[in-house]
Structure formats: structure tokens, C-alpha cells
Chains A and B, each alone.
Chain A
Amino acid sequence: MTQRLFIAVILLNFAFAKAQSEKFTLSGTISEQLNGETMIGVNVLIPELSTGTASNEYGFYSITLPAGTYQVVYSFIGYKNIQKEIVLNGDTQINISMEESDEQLDAIVIKADVEKLSTQSPQMSVNALAIETIKKIPVVLGETDIVKSLVLLPGVTNAGEGAAGFNVRGGAADQNLVLLDEATLYQSDHLFGFFSVFNPDAIKDLKLYKGGIPARYGGRVSSVLDIYQRDGNRNKFGATGGIGLVASRLLLEGPIQKEKSSFLIGGRSSYAHLFLPLFNIDNKAYFYDLNAKLSFTLDDRNRLYFSSYFGRDVFTVNEFFGNTFGNSFANVRWNHVFNNKWFANTSLIYSDYSYGLELDFVEFEFTSGITNLNAKYDLTHYLNDKTKMRYGVNSIYYEFDPGRIVPTTETSPINEQQLTKKYAWENGLYVDGEFEITDKININAGLRLSTFSRLGQDNIGVYENNQAVVFNDELQIYESVDPIETTSASRGTALKTFANLEPRFSIAYSLDDDTSFKASYQRITQYIHLISNTNAPTPFDLYAPSGTFVEPQIGNQVAAGFFKNMGDYSFETEAFYKTVDHRLDYIDGADLIANDNIEQILLSGEARAYGLELLFRKNKGKLQGWIAYTLSRSEQRTPGRTLEETGINNGEWYSAAWDKTHDLTITSSYELNKKWSMGANFTLQTGQPVTYPNGQYEFDGLFIPTYEARNSSRLPLIHRLDVSATYVPKPDKTKGWQSSWVFSIYNAYNRRNAASVSFAQNEETGRNEATRLSIFGVVPAVTYNFKF
């Protein structure tokens, strides 16, 4: 009997031991209780094992642990922590609904690195802004603007008031990959940079990667702005909107089938132009956006999403000039969970940017644009609690249409012409891993293989010596050359193919729970280039693909940083150095408009940027905010191709148009009481680079200034204070009609910041003058926001 018992005990022991060493996966989807919206980045912590994970872009989480019973904590800023006791003796699926916290939802929230998990994460150089924060930041004309809010962070700037696009760590505006629900957007602004294309009510999450860009992203050298739209309330119908001075917005959402599917449809439009006829001005300038999304949970393992966006800017001047341009996209995505450890997302995307111009006095219409079809497959493998692998493939087919010009009347002087369309096929294949090496060291290592094939087209120029630009020695200028012949090739052939390996690496070393050092390296290839020789992008600037005459841009960036959490405060600093090879530059006097053979005006140069970013934040309490300071330099040079050639600007380094030596931003918000909160931003920056004249002459009745070295001077210092006050009349109301008023004053002390300086002769007085243009003086605004 005792022998049997003994054997039984031993067997039981083995059985138990076997069970002990066996691992099981805990996974599921995390959503908001209120509306069923999936939640990104929710921390799933198992404190007793000092480990955890976070939910992905689709709310899915997975962690593999040894069998046992654990207290699992689900936590996310602004929501009540959920603690569950989980007995893990088999693969378990637990879906979680998070409830918003009753505590005063503190005004400014930067998704915290306060949790130990995040300081340990090797992901650095990323800023994630909560949409609630962005809505409270005062901006011009009271319209919430994601891009303008990003500019308040260190390392992000723009080329001046009214300049479109944004610049990250000294990079050009075309070097940012802007993704909305995984679709590429080619323009992030409306009305020349005064508004962004993002309807804040439709946004769930956004992250800006300034460096340490993971291998799953590619194609743009400087940054990735990854934005996810909300899915729509799965439980009940609702609407959110706002009425402002210049623009209004409305978003409708609700379930299609309760808790299983939802829809979201939002629109935004400006209407200031409706008042212009009162002043006898028959011009129109307005924009509109439409966002639509459908989300379906097919079953426990499958979700399907349809998203689309359509936005346009419209300018007309009294019927003799009309201009329309904007982005649009449609995509379908399918999430599939294989077996709790494997999460896959398949996306099929169509996106385009189109530009249209009509000039009645010359009787023609001009349209141009870029279209792409994109198929992506991304797979995440939650190997175990220390390892997460990602694999994926991304394929993009591009069509570039430089323009089609069509006469609008029979008497038009214009002949119909289609400029040569260009085609290309870009592919990316990546593997990426997050590894916890020790409990102090985490690394993220990845490799991306990118290829780009420039496909056949009509009108391929063949040039003598393969040179489309020659240097005229006598006159010391570059000149365009006509091709000696033109050939064509079918779209199925590749004129030129590029392949590049892009290693990505980042490492985090934690000194303790609150302190860490991080370092990263990235190499990224950019195959399409925005052809623009103005200081900031204009709507008719088009992208051109790499090919026989244009090499892809290759960017390398190293960054190192120090991060510390100190209770209510946190401090981070990063230093970066980046170089870009094959940055395009233009010969003097280059004519970019409707140019079919841009190889005749291009020269290849290089760019580099380096800097130090400091960010000091107060994350809790009634007063919250941050102080961001960036000291940096961004420059470019284009030396001659041979010793005899001068290059651009004599082959010397010159400041990029967006170079800002000092950039200080102080953003703050103060919760006065339940009904009132105040916000203030202060910006202090070095003025934009500018080229000053060093003389002048008259020729053929024209007044011509002569100039110094490119961008060798600076416009005056820029500084500005913006303030806002938000009033919530019924702060405790959570059902029915909820509203708030936002009063803001942009540029409170009316500082005339120079956007540009022009040099001309005053026609009336005959005096030579420098005239400073400043765009916004003090601009007060009121916006009424509502929700039901």
C-alpha cells in the first residue's frame, strides 16, 4: 500500500512537474466598455513575474507564461485598472472591457512611460499623443490640429507659419511616412498648412517615430506618423462635433449589429468663404474631409475593417481660376488570430493624391496626381513573454501622372497633351524581433529588404553620355540637355531595379525601474521624391520615382538617449545624427511645373542633421505640461559632379529651409475646477534661414537683387504665446447632450513673426525696400464642441 502510494506520489509529482514546465498563452482583445472601441497600448502586467505585454494596434494582446495562477493587471492611463485572477492551465482567451476612470481625467496626457514596462522598452524616439491632449492645445483659428500639436514636441518643426508639412529631426517634409489606418497620405495639410487633414474626432491613436523606426516601416527616411482611426461605437448611436469660426465638423457612429459591428462616418468643412461675398470678393477658399469606417467582428479570431477617406481643398477666383486638390483612399483590412500566439493583419489599400487646376483666361485644365495600390501582410508572433517576433511583406504599385493639359474651349491656345506617366513597384520584406535579454536589457532588432523597380513607360529620354544636365563652362551654369532619342518600354519590363538591406536596431538598458539609457540605429531607403524647389511643399509639387537618373535616398540615423521618471515628473533627452545620401537638388532657374523630363533639372546631393532634444514633463496634478527644447542643425550640399563644376551654392553646405537652431516650446494646462481649464503654449525659435541680397541692378525695366550664399542669413527670432480656456457647463453629465466651449487666442501679444522677406523697389517712392510678410497677428477664436 505505501509502495503504491509512493509511486502514486512520484507519478503525481512528475505529472505536476510536467504541468509546471508547460507554458500556456493568455490572449484576447481589450476594448472600451463604453463604446466597444478596441484599445491600443493597454498594459497587461503580471507583477509577480515582473513581466507583461501591451495590446497591439487592433487591441489584441498575447503573453505566454508557465502554467500557474496569476494576478493579472490591465492598466491604461485614464481608465480603471482591472485586476483578474487567472488560472493558466491551458491556452486562455480573456477579452477585457476597460472603464473610464472617475478621477479627474487630467488634461494633458502623454501616454506614459511611467509604467516600468515602457521605460524598459527599447523603442525610443517616439512620441505618442493622446487625442484628448491634442484637443486641448490652443492653435490658430481654434481648430484642433494634430500636426500643429506635434510641432510642439522636441525634434519636430515646420518651415514657418503657413508652411505645409512638418519636419522631423532636420528632415524634409517629403521624408515623413504619414499613415492613416495603414494607407499612405501624400499631403497632411489643407489650405497651405493652416489646417491638417485629420479629423480629431475620428482618431483613436497616433504615434510619431522620429528615430529607431522599426523594420515593419519603410519608404521614408525621417519619420513615421502612424495614425489609427476609431472603429465606431458598438453599443449605441452617438454623434460628436464642433462648430468653430472657420470650420465645423460632425461625426456619427453606432452599431450595425450591437457589439459585433459598427460604423463611423465623419465630415469636416470650412465655410469662411461663404462670408466673402459680403465684402464683394468673389473668391472661394475652402476644404472638406470625409472619413468613413465599417468594423466587423466576424468571430473570436477574425475581424474585418473597411476604411476610407476623401479630402479636398478648393480655391476659386471669380471663375477665371480654379484649383482643387487632395488625398483619398479606401482600404480593407482583415485581422486573423491563428492560435493565440500568432496575429496576422492583411491590408489591401488604394490611395491617391490628385491635383487639378483650371485657368479660364488661358482656357485650359490641368490635372496630375499619384495613385497607388498597396497589399500588406503583417504577422506578429508572441513567442514567449521575452520574445515577440514580427514578419511581413509590403508591396506597392505606383502610377505617377505628371499632368494632363486639356483645352476647355475650341478657341483655346492649348493643345491637349498628356505628360508621360511613370510606373513603379516597391516591395518590402521584413523580420523584426523584440527580445528581453536580461531583466535590464531589452533589444529590438530587425532587418528590412526593400526593392524598387522602375517600370517601362513611353518617352524615355536617351542622353549623350547618359547626362541630362550639362555644365556650361563658359557661363558657369548648369543647363538642361535635350535627349538624342526617345524610346519606350512596356510596363512589364523594369528599366532599373534597386535593392537595399535596411538594418534596424535599438537597445534599452534599465538602471532601475525609472531610469534607462537607450540607443538606436536605423537605415532606411526612400524611393520616391517630392519634386519641389520651394521652401515648403506646394500642392502641385509631385512625387517622382527613382530610376535611371535618380538614385534612391538612403538615410542613416543613430540616436542615444537617457530617460528618467521622477514621480509626477519625467525627463528625457536624446541626441541624434543622421545623414541622407542622394538628396535631390535643382539647377538654378529650374522649371518644375509640368515638366516631363525632370532628369534635365536634377542634381544629386547629400543632407545631414544633428541635434540634441530635451523634454521635461509634468504628467500629473492640476498643472501639467512639458518643456521641450531642441538644439539642432540641418543642412544640405550639392557639390559639382567633377572638379570643374561649381555645384549648387558653390558646393558648400547650406542650411535647409526648415533649419531651426533653437526651438523651445512650453506647453501647459491647468485644471482650475471641474468646469474650467486653461491652456497656454509659448514658442521661441530661431528664425528661418533666408538669403539676403548684397546688391541690386536694373535690367529691362526690372529691379533685380543679387544675393549672398544660399540661406546664409536668418529671419528675426520667432516667439509667440497662445492661450485657451475650456468651459464644460455640465462636467458630470455623461449621457445625452454634452458640450464644451473652447475660447482661444492665438498669438496673444500680436507678435509679427516674419514668414518671409521680399526685396523690391517701391513703385511709388522709387525706394528699394525689404518687406516682411507675417501671416497671423492676434487671432481670437471660439469653438463649440458637442457630443451625444
Chain B
Amino acid sequence: MKKLFTLLLLVLTITSCEDVIELDLNNTAPRLVIDAELELNEDGTTLATVLLTRSNAFYQEEIITVDDAIVTVTDENGTVFNFNLVALGVYENTSLNIQPGASYTLTIIDGSDIYTATQRFVNTVPYTRVEQNNISGFGDLVEITGFFNDPAGEENYYLFELIDHTTPSNSEIDIIDDEFSDGNEALTVFFIDEEDLPVGSDLTLVIRGIDRRAFTFYDTLIQQTDDGGGGTFNAQPATVRGNIINTTNPEKFPFGYFRVSEVFKIDYTVVANP
């Protein structure tokens, strides 16, 4: 929702001319990027993966993975779960089972740096249904809406994802809080260009429970992606700090987040005339 709002404003400025230009940019020292998630699926299984990469110079597209780190997660009882490298930069553990309400600590040793984060499990609610609508406004768009029931009386924060198995580049994430929708049937909306979404495309909508800090993190993060320097609607670029710190060298903080969430998914196939 938040992302959409900003997007709408951007599109409102008369799109007149965009040119790609070459800039001479500086490079800062690379940092570790940690994409760590413990997810409790609907069927009770746990997905525990950590993706480690390094940030790079702006014009360097290649992704540098970190394949020699030591990754562990410790639960409240002190049980240590070791993560093994299963693909470039990807570490997994298959024995961890998330206990709802529990808190977990992630530890990553990368060279001489030790990174840690502690996160408590956040539960969430499943999708009840998906609706599709074809509209024209900013061009021809397909509107995919996922509905869910927000629990009343609690502060809830959600992280949504639209995964397009047919055209992976359409995948998007979004966030919302329940400030205005507490206790109601709430929704998340994704807009995709009709020409990029052929009929029959396989989609999955994902909903994940996050807490307030993660919500602020993703909010700031999404702002960084939508805009850049200068321009009327652009907020100031900000340093996005997640919940992971470097205990050996605090200045050398990492990017990324350690999430422990309940996850629900719902599949949907794109139709011609919804």
C-alpha cells in the first residue's frame, strides 16, 4: 500500500523524457548483505535459509556471494542449529522447527567479523481469497488483490510478496500496517502491466508476519528503490539499518534483515476476463 502510494505520485509527474546517463560514481567499501529468514509454513514445516552476499560498486551487476561464512541460529534454550552451504551464498538448516512465540538469535562469522541479531517469531493470518481486475489508468494494468482478516485489537504488520512463476521479473513486495484497518477484512493490491502478464500466468501471493521494526525497515528500504536523487517527490536517501549488528566492529554494520515469520501462501492463475 505504502509503496503503491509513492508510485502513484511518481507517475503523476508528467512523464516527458527519461534518458539513461553515465555518471562517474564513487565506490564505498563493500558490506555484508544478510537475507536471513526463518519461516513457519502453513503445514507446520520450517524453512530456514540465509543468503549472504556483498554490496558492490554501483555499475557492477555481478553479485558477489559469500561462501565461507559460519552461520548458526540459537534458540532460547541454547540449542545451536548449524547452517550448511547448499548453493552459492545460500546456507540452510533442515532440523530447526520454529516454536510459535519463541525468540531466535542469528550469528554469522565472516572473516574476523561477528554479526548477530535476535528476533522473536511473529505470527500472521492466511489469505482468504484473491481477486483479479483489469483496469486502465496508467496504461493497461492487471490488479491482483489478496484479502485477509486482520485480527482486531492487536498492532499487526504485514509483508506481502507477489511471485510470478511464469515471468519472475514481475515479482514484487509490499508492506502494510493495520492502523486504519484493524479488525476488518483487509487487502493488499499489486498492479502489473497487462502486456507483461499473459493469461495463464502462475502467481503465488505470500503473506508474512513482521513486527514494527521490520515494518519501518521495509518502509525505508522500499523508499530507496522507488526514487533517487533530486526530484520533487523524492524523500532523502537514508541509511537502511536492519536488526543485525556487527559485535566486533560496530561501524562495519551489515545490510539486510533477520526475519522470523509465520507464512501463508495462496496460488492464483491469471484469467482473461475477470
Contacts and interface: CB of A to CB of B under 8 A. Distances in A.
Contacts of A321: 8, 137
Contacts of B198: none
Interface string B175-214: 0000111111111010000000000000000000000010
B150 to A, nearest CB: 8
B241 interface: yes
A706 B55 contact: yes
A73 interface: no
Given A534-B233, A756-B229, A766-B61, A704 B17 contact: no
A763 interface: yes
Contact of B228 (A536, A698, A708, A756): A756
Given A413-B184, A589-B223, A756 B231 contact: yes
A349 interface: no
Interface in B218-274: 219-225, 227-241, 243, 245, 250, 253, 255-257
A534 B183 CA distance: 33
A760 interface: yes
A405 B256 contact: no
Interface in B105-158: 133, 135-138, 143, 145, 150
Contacts of B231: 160, 535, 755-758, 773
A132 to B, nearest CB: 30
B241 A475 contact: yes
A745 B161 CA distance: 47
A594 B20 CA distance: 35
A366 to B, nearest CB: 9
A620 interface: no
A692 interface: yes
A767 B27 contact: no
A768 interface: yes
A364 B135 contact: no
B87 interface: no
A701 B173 contact: yes
Interface string B56-75: 11111101000000000000
A770 B22 contact: yes
Interface stretch (A92-100, A296-304, A441-449, A683-691): A683-691
Contact of A589 (B12, B161, B220): B220
B33 interface: yes
Contact of A710 (B216, B233, B237, B256): B237
B19 interface: yes
Contacts of A777: 16-17
Nearest to B152: A415
B19 A538 contact: no
A710 B138 contact: no
Given A770-B22, A774-B19, A697 B33 contact: yes
A33 interface: no
A699 interface: yes
Nearest to A536: B232
A315 interface: yes
B219 to A, nearest CB: 6
A317 B224 contact: no
B229 A692 contact: yes
A770 B57 CA distance: 13
A590 B236 CA distance: 10
B28 interface: yes
A386 interface: no
17 contacts: A318-B136, A362-B187, A411-B185, A414-B181, A479-B213, A535-B233, A538-B9, A593-B5, A694-B28, A697-B31, A699-B257, A754-B230, A755-B231, A757-B23, A757-B231, A758-B234, A773-B18
Interface of A: 159-160, 162-164, 192-193, 280, 282-283, 285, 315, 317-318, 320-321, 361-362, 364, 405, 411-415, 417, 474-477, 479-480, 533-536, 538, 586, 588-591, 593-594, 657, 688-708, 710, 713, 715, 752, 754-761, 763, 766-777
Interface of B: 1-2, 5, 8-9, 12-14, 16-23, 25-28, 30-31, 33, 35, 53-61, 63, 133, 135-138, 143, 145, 150, 161, 169, 171-173, 179-187, 189, 213, 216-217, 219-225, 227-241, 243, 245, 250, 253, 255-257
The 9 closest A-B pairs by CB, nearest first: A756-B231, A589-B220, A690-B229, A588-B238, A758-B228, A697-B55, A318-B137, A756-B230, A707-B237
Given A591-B219, A698-B63, 10 more contacts: A192-B232, A588-B220, A694-B25, A699-B257, A702-B173, A704-B255, A705-B228, A752-B19, A758-B229, A770-B22
